Structure 1
Amino acid sequence: MLRRPVERTDDNGAGQRNEALIRAVALGHDWRRKMERGIYPSIRALADAKGFSDSYAWKIIRLAYLAPDIIEAILDGRQPAHLILHKVNAAQLSGDWRSQRRALGFSEKS
């Protein structure tokens, strides 16, 4: 069984890789691919197979739909200092990348 990414909240600086957030983004991409391939026909089937709640599985999968520049910043450790997995999961995110940037504290792209 996979374990939930555990995140330290005492790191305060941008420029530091948040390994829990990175693992969650990677997991979201993996789970999305498995659903697209039909390995799991639903969120519930995936959640049951992985031992998580439906809501947790959905929160992880939606990380795969973040704007590419947000994902790149997370992988490079350039995310805003306040951005931790809990805050990403709590944010009201749409499919609109501009709205995602605003909600997560990234600067606007032109």
Structure 2
Amino acid sequence: MSGAPYMTVRVPLTIRHRPGRKTVVTPVLPGALPLTATRADPALVKALARAFRYQRLLDEGRYGSISEMAAAEEIERGYLGSLLRLTLLAPAIVEALLDGQEQSLSLPRLLEPFPTSWTEQEALFGRGPSPRQGAHQ
């Protein structure tokens, strides 16, 4: 073997320290589209992702009940039930949360009971139907 047995790769980046997390900021390359930062609440995004994952596992029959899933996933059954309720949120609300447009809603607020009707949710949380939804559901 000839030459060096290793290679060094340098990637220009900046690490910004924010309360509770670190963010990697990569440079914008010439000709590339700049990334748009989201202001979505990371805890809320994570909770929504988990809720839809847990719902998918139930739908696929991987677990027969919420109690069985809670034991297997090692989380409290009541919390799992509250997370699963997030899958009942109106699509316009979920989209606004993921886009960071809805700053007034927090995870603790969404874990409280809310109506299952999308129209009632939008009235409660102060959002009208999205233009794509129109007035129909």
TM-score by length of 2: 0.63
Q: Does 1:73 align with 2:90?
A: no
Tell me the number of residue pairs that the alignment of Structure 1 and Structure 2 aligns. Answer: 94
Alpha-carbon RMSD = 1.6
After TM superposition, the structure 1 = structure 2 runs for residues 29-108 of structure 1, keeping only pairs within 5 Å, are 29-79=52-102, 81-90=103-112, 92-103=113-124, 105-108=125-128
Work out the CA distance in 1 between the residues paired with 2:47 and 2:98: 11
Quote how far apart the aligned CAs of 1:94 are.
2.3
Quote how far apart the aligned CAs of 1:106 are.
2.7
Once the two structures are superposed, residues 29-80 of structure 1 have per-residue CA deviations (whole angstroms, 9 ceiling, x without a partner) of 110010011101100011111111111001111111211111111110011x
Contact 2:93 2:127 in 1 (8 A): no
Work out the CA distance in 2 between the residues paired with 1:63 and 1:29: 8
Question: Secondary structure in 1 aligned to 2:56?
Answer: helix
Equivalent of 1:23 in 8, 22, 46: 46
Higher relative contact order (CA 8 A, sep 6+): 1
Which of the pair is proportionally richer in helix? 1
Alignment identity in percent?
A: 29
